[in-house]
A and B are shown apart, each in its own frame.
Chain A
Amino acid sequence: MTVELNSEEKDGVVTISIEGEFDMAASPKIRNFLTPLFKENNRSVIVDLAKVPYIDSSGIATLVEGLQWSHSSDKKFRLTQLSPAVKDVFEIARLLTVFEVFDSHEEALQGA
């Protein structure tokens, strides 16, 4: 199963939509997609996880890189629409309060 990635820009914010399982097989592709955005460092990033039914520690690690980037820049790195299974993994890792997590894309866009 391959992961699909789409990006959309609105009001200076890039939204990356991921479709598929975010595991050890998919993480390198997703990291390669996100890293240039961090290097450009001129837009905030929202990652839409609505179509991600599964995430493992390599997926979390990829997202933590985004979190670290946002801490070292004035841009936001936000997550939105986590599925219950993905939310559970974040909860076990106690990361729900570490990341900026939003229920809807509209909410994530506000102030991004």
Chain B
Amino acid sequence: MAEPIKITIPSDPRYLCVNRRALQQILTLAELPEELTSQLALCVDEACSNVIKYGYEGETNHSIEISYAIDNDVFEVKIRDYGKQCDTSKFQPRCLDDVKPGGLGTFFIHKIMDSVSYCTKREKGTLLTMTKNLKTDMVNQKEEE
């Protein structure tokens, strides 16, 4: 991809599907396997859900800016919000042995993505950057087959 693809959605759960569709199309064009495409869409979706829940505290009239890039087989997504800055050190995946509702989103993100970093060094909001090495994952998937 020569240039990052940018999409902005309202902080309303109804529009999460719009972003998912866009990302699925981008990854299909990049000829990624269906399973990996679904997993990356899940991670981005969970991150946007967290922005709505914690950054904007459920308010639906704000914006979430998302940018996608694929360079040298590395998928990078940046998610920018202008909501409340949370203590990102508390965003830890929970232990799966304790089966309870909630808290799984961060687990999915850390399990699937290679790197996850939150930057709050700005006046408002947070910039979340996540990366995934596509080549490594596709080789691993082929070996599993």
Contacts and interface: CB of A to CB of B under 8 A. Distances in A.
Interface residues of B, number: 27
Nearest to A66: B101
Interface string B88-111: 000000001001111111011001
B45 A93 contact: no
A89 B42 contact: yes
A67 interface: yes
A95 to B, nearest CB: 7
A58 B99 contact: no
A62 B103 CA distance: 12
A65 B101 contact: yes
Given A54-B20, A93-B96, A24 B104 contact: no
Interface in A35-92: 54, 56-58, 60-62, 64-65, 67-68, 84-85, 88-89, 92
B17 A1 contact: yes
Interface in B11-68: 13-14, 16-17, 20, 34-35, 38-39, 41-42, 45-46, 49, 52
A58 B49 contact: yes
A57 B13 contact: no
A61 B104 CA distance: 8
Contacts of B39: 88, 92
A85 B101 CA distance: 20
B112 interface: yes
Nearest to B37: A85
Given A1-B17, A88-B35, A88-B38, A64 B101 contact: yes
A92 B111 contact: yes
Which of B101, B102, B105 has the most C-beta atoms of chain A within 10 angstroms of its own C-beta?
B101
Contact of A25 (B16, B38, B96, B100): B16
B99 A95 contact: yes
A88 B103 CA distance: 18
B17 A85 contact: no
B121 to A, nearest CB: 28
B34 to A, nearest CB: 8
B38 A85 contact: yes
Interface of A: 1, 21, 23-25, 54, 56-58, 60-62, 64-65, 67-68, 84-85, 88-89, 92-95, 98
Q: What 6 A-B pairs are tightest by C-beta distance, nearest first?
A: A61-B101, A57-B104, A25-B13, A57-B105, A24-B13, A64-B101
